Structure 1
Amino acid sequence: MAITSANQLELLQTAEAVAREKMIDPGLVIEAMEESLARAAKSRYGSEMDIRVKIDRRTGRATFTRVRTVVEDEALENYQSELTVKQARQYMAEPKVGDVYEEEVPPVDLGRIAAQSAKQVILQKVREAERDRQYEEFKDRQGTIINGQVKREEYGNLIVDVGRGEAILRRNEKIGRESYRPGDRIRCYVKDVRREARGPQIFLSRTAPEFMSELFKMEVPEIYDGIIEIKAVARDPGSRAKIAVISYDSSIDPVGACVGMRGSRVQAVVNELQGEKIDIIPWNEDVPTFLVNALQPAEVSKVVLDEDAERIEVVVPDEQLSLAIGRRGQNVRLASQLTGLDIDIMTEEEESKRRQKEFEERTQLFMDTLDLDEFFAQLLVAEGFTNLEEVAYVEQDELLVIDGVDEDTAHELQTRAREHLEEQARKALEHARELGVEDSLVEFEGLTPQMVEALAEDGIKTLEDFATCADWELAGGWTTVDGQRTKDEGLLEKFSVDLAEAQNMIMTARVMLGWVDPEDMVAQAAAEAEATAEDKAEA
């Protein structure tokens, strides 16, 4: 097949037809044709030649050009696509290294094999262009709701026709009791769009919390307009969900707006989610207050928040326990997901027993260590003293407010407490030295003898050993495995050493050993502070 005037216009017509069918730029199809013709020409003239083809966008005429580059004499490797400065003078007035000499060559006559190869190149380029178009179209729709039609089911996964492409709804992204047949209409959340070799992969979801958020945005104009904001969503897909909302207009009730007249708005979402029950909860910056709302419909008597451990204790009346926990723990689990905290629920009776046990343990501590009678020890506990350090080093005025305590008694109490603490420290230091602790660790500022003893019992006996520790190894922390948070006990956690203190001590040890440059630490801290400030500004 020769490229003659008879089929020049046919090239443009073919490009236009393919572009319309695949909904891509006609220029991309013409570029594919140019590349395919260039390949065919190379097979005719020789693969070492640099043959390029240009198709006129108006007339369809294909121009075949041989390109040669001017190089240094010693750099000449391929005489078919390169020429020296001396050789170039035959064709150019003042050739320089890097100049390009082009000469038109006769069009090739495409044989059957060359024509088939050209066709494959064009099809490949068109497929790539089509994939790029699909990716560009759907990547901007990630995080939105899309309507589609079920095409088929493969191993429990649904293949959904979404217009100009196909998407997949995996088995674990479907609501449990849902069932679809080919041809059914379906509404999903575009969870992810990935560019892969086989084309863009569009992953859908109906179980994602964001799906519920987007549904409410469609049904509640105030959310779409930004007057009401969805702060958090927790779902047990197909069964129950909790959604926290806040209004930035004091005249609009966020819960009422989401429920709608006679429940019309929330019912539309419930219907889409196959009857999933939805609790709409007012958001509150105060975590305990928010948690009380999140545990509805159960009533809460008391909330104790431990911010360091990201845990919260909730006390409920005895008859409210089952309601607060919910069937199979559903209510407390969703409340935990909504607040981002671990929640411990106990009844008023259980909390009373625990407080009584703590009171008795502290009373016994003061009786044993300070040689006090039970009544006097109970007075100390009732005033809020929990350990010997508080008694030993508190301002004396705080002891004088206790009934029956004068200055002499307060002085005697503090003397006994300090003597006992000093004795404990002496024994701890002796034990640590018996375990082989070096002076570098004993003399390190911030570590008490009891801390040194605890470290030595775990094999940390030198300043170098201490400097290799991680902050969580000392202060403890929490690890999430398969959605379950587990406690990591810290070596110094019982001495009330938090993560910031542990990190500071470890870095100080590293500086003392010369492992870290103090100037680098200052620069790093400044960079982190700047990054934090930028994040806050963007938020």
Structure 2
Amino acid sequence: MAITSANQLELLQTAEAVAREKMIDPELVIEAMEDSLARAAKSRYGAEMDIRVKIDRRTGNATFTRIRTVVEDDAVENYQAELTVEQARPYLADPKVGDEIVDEVPPVELGRIAAQSAKQVILQRVREAERDRQYEEFKDRAGTIINGIVKREEYGNIIVDVGRGEAILRRNEKIGRESYRPNDRIRAYVKDVRRETRGPQIFLSRTDPQFMAELFKMEVPEIYDGIIEIKAVARDPGSRAKIAVISHDNSIDPVGACVGMRGSRVQAVVGELQGEKIDIIPWNEDHATFLVNALQPAEVAKVVFDEEAGKIEVVVPDEQLSLAIGRRGQNVRLASQLTGLDIDILTEEEESKRRQAEFNARTALFMDALDLDEFFAQLLVAEGFTNLEEVAYIEQDELLSIDGVDEGTAQELQARARDVLEARNKAALDNARALGAEDSLIEFEGLTPQMVEALAKDGIKTLEDFATCADWELAGGWTTVNGQRVKDDGLLEPFDISLEEAQTMVMTARILLGWVDPAELETAEEETEAGDAAEAVEMGEDNTEAGA
């Protein structure tokens, strides 16, 4: 075809029609037409030429121009699109580098191949614009619930029509064995929206814990208004779930509000989740109280919390064990997910046996090390003494407060304990030196002879070796692998070294070796503190705005 007055208006009409059909900006379609006509003109006049096309937005008139740019004398690479200052003088009065010479060229005739190529360029640009529009529309809907209509099923994955695009509900994101047929209505959670080469990909989920949270937000006005807050959610999709809620208004019961009149609100959520049983639990800042609530309907006799390890032990009556664990461990697993803690469940009988074993072990320690009879050793354990260090270095008044212990007995106990500890320290030092431990490590403040021995056994024999250690290698820690918390044993963990203490010791070693400048360290700490303070102020301002 030729770009003549006969089809100038048709260009604008076509652009308007395509833009309206694809719901994109007509300007993008016209720009795609200009690009396609420019490519066709280059195939006619030469690919080296800089041919540009401008379509008048009112009349549809297409103007073809050739652009030549003025460059330095030694910078000319394309003689069809560039020229020197001297070569530009016939065209410009005072040419300078960077000036452009614009010449209008005759419109081109588009043959069959050129027309087909132009059509492909336009379609490609339109598709890209349509994908960008879809991504911009759906990217802000991630984390919300969307309604759609099932289009088809592909290898167990459900393709869902969500209006101006398609979304995918993967097989592992469906609840249980639920199945769908074409044209079924479906409600799902927008888990992720990604921009990919084939277009925006919208991933849906019906098993995500936040799907249930969003359903409650739709059914419970107090959650939507922010009066009640969902603090945590744990799900075994299609079977059972636990949701922790808290009310910011003392006059409103968070559990009752979520249940609704005669269970109307929670039943609406249960119906959407294919009959999934939901436990609504009041959230509490106190970990122990929250855990007791989370293990409902089981009764808890005692809770022992290890904050450093993020682990908690729960003691339940013997007859409550199966209820606390739940079918296939479901109840304790959901409670663990809800609280973010590793939970060990013991019966009262098991806990009693363990406590008795610990009592016997400590009694045997004092009997053997201090040469005491069983009664006196048991008396020390009953008073709370757990190791020889406590006996050796505790204030003597503490020992005198024990019935039957006079000043002479107290002095003798402490003397024996110190003698045993000194002998152990000497043996540990001798062994560490035999293993190759150097004085730089042995004399480092904070390390006991037993610690040095343990480090030497692991090949850490110098202060330089110690300074290269990570804090978790010394104090131990926890790593999450495949959703499960795994314990990392530390070299000095048996000596009750905390992570903070390990960090301080390693940093001190690096300073002594000259690896770290204390002044730079103080500056970094001050900057961190300043950043934390600024963040706290910013959060406070955000909270004030939210309250307003």
TM-score range, shorter chain: over 0.9
CA distance in 2, matches of 1:488, 1:72: 66
1:275 match:
275
CA deviations 1:180-220 (Å, max 9, x no partner) are 11111000000000000000000000000010010000000
Amino acid at match of 1:487: K
**1:154-303 to 2 correspondences below 5 Å:** 154-303=154-303
**1:419-458 to 2 correspondences below 5 Å:** 419-458=419-458
Shift of 1:531: 4.2
CA deviations 1:301-329 (Å, max 9, x no partner) are 00000001110000001110000000000
1:16 match:
16
**1:395-414 to 2 correspondences below 5 Å:** 395-414=395-414
Amino acid at match of 2:167: A
Amino acid at match of 1:205: S
SS in 1 for 2:215: helix
SS in 1 for 2:6: helix
CA distance in 2, matches of 1:535, 1:384: 44
CA distance in 2, matches of 1:307, 1:381: 24
SS in 2 for 1:121: helix
Amino acid at match of 1:30: I
CA distance in 1, matches of 2:187, 2:44: 54
Amino acid at match of 2:4: T
CA distance in 1, matches of 2:537, 2:337: 27
Stretch moving more, 488-497 or 95-104 = 95-104
CA deviations 1:119-148 (Å, max 9, x no partner) are 010000000000000000000100000001
Amino acid at match of 2:230: I
**1:137-156 to 2 correspondences below 5 Å:** 137-156=137-156
TM-score for both structures, normalised by structure 1: 0.98
Would you say 1:392 and 2:392 are equivalent positions? yes
Stretch moving more, 87-96 or 416-425 = 87-96
Shift of 1:516: 2.6
Amino acid at match of 1:498: S
2:67 match:
67
Would you say 1:350 and 2:366 are equivalent positions? no
CA distance in 1, matches of 2:208, 2:154: 21
Stretch moving more, 267-276 or 494-503 = 494-503
2:544 match:
none
CA distance in 2, matches of 1:78, 1:478: 63
CA distance in 1, matches of 2:448, 2:208: 50
SS in 2 for 1:140: helix
What percent of counterpart residues are identical?
A: 83
Is the alpha carbon distance of 1:354 and 1:537 closer, same or farther for their aligned partners in structure 2, counting shifts above 3 Å?
farther
1:415 match:
415
CA deviations 1:152-180 (Å, max 9, x no partner) are 11111111111111111001100012111
Would you say 1:25 and 2:25 are equivalent positions? yes
Amino acid at match of 1:394: I
Stretch moving more, 65-74 or 230-239 = 65-74
Amino acid at match of 1:172: N
2:381 match:
381
CA distance in 1, matches of 2:150, 2:533: 47
CA deviations 1:419-460 (Å, max 9, x no partner) are 111111011000111111111111111111010001111111
2:542 match:
none
1:35 match:
35
Shift of 1:534: 4.7
Is the alpha carbon distance of 1:277 and 1:537 closer, same or farther for their aligned partners in structure 2, counting shifts above 3 Å?
farther
SS in 2 for 1:5: coil
CA distance in 1, matches of 2:119, 2:274: 50
Shift of 1:232: 0.1
CA distance in 1, matches of 2:175, 2:538: 36
SS in 2 for 1:372: coil
Amino acid at match of 1:335: A
Shift of 1:538: 5.2
2:545 match:
none
2:543 match:
none
CA distance in 1, matches of 2:77, 2:481: 60
Shift of 1:513: 2.1
Stretch moving more, 371-380 or 425-434 = 371-380
CA distance in 2, matches of 1:180, 1:536: 48
Shift of 1:54: 0.7
1:304 match:
304
Amino acid at match of 1:251: S
SS in 1 for 2:67: strand
Stretch moving more, 235-244 or 37-46 = 37-46
SS in 2 for 1:337: helix
CA distance in 1, matches of 2:340, 2:453: 36
2:503 match:
503
CA deviations 1:71-110 (Å, max 9, x no partner) are 1112122221112112222122222111122121111111
1:85 match:
85
CA distance in 1, matches of 2:191, 2:508: 45
CA distance in 2, matches of 1:168, 1:535: 38
CA distance in 1, matches of 2:245, 2:98: 66
CA distance in 2, matches of 1:524, 1:179: 57
Note the residue ranges of structure 2 that are not aligned, 5 or more in a row: 540-548
Shift of 1:475: 0.7
Stretch moving more, 420-429 or 68-77 = 68-77
Shift of 1:363: 1.2
Stretch moving more, 403-412 or 145-154 = 403-412
CA distance in 2, matches of 1:519, 1:67: 61
CA distance in 2, matches of 1:116, 1:180: 41
SS in 1 for 2:141: coil
Stretch moving more, 54-63 or 479-488 = 479-488
Shift of 1:411: 1.9
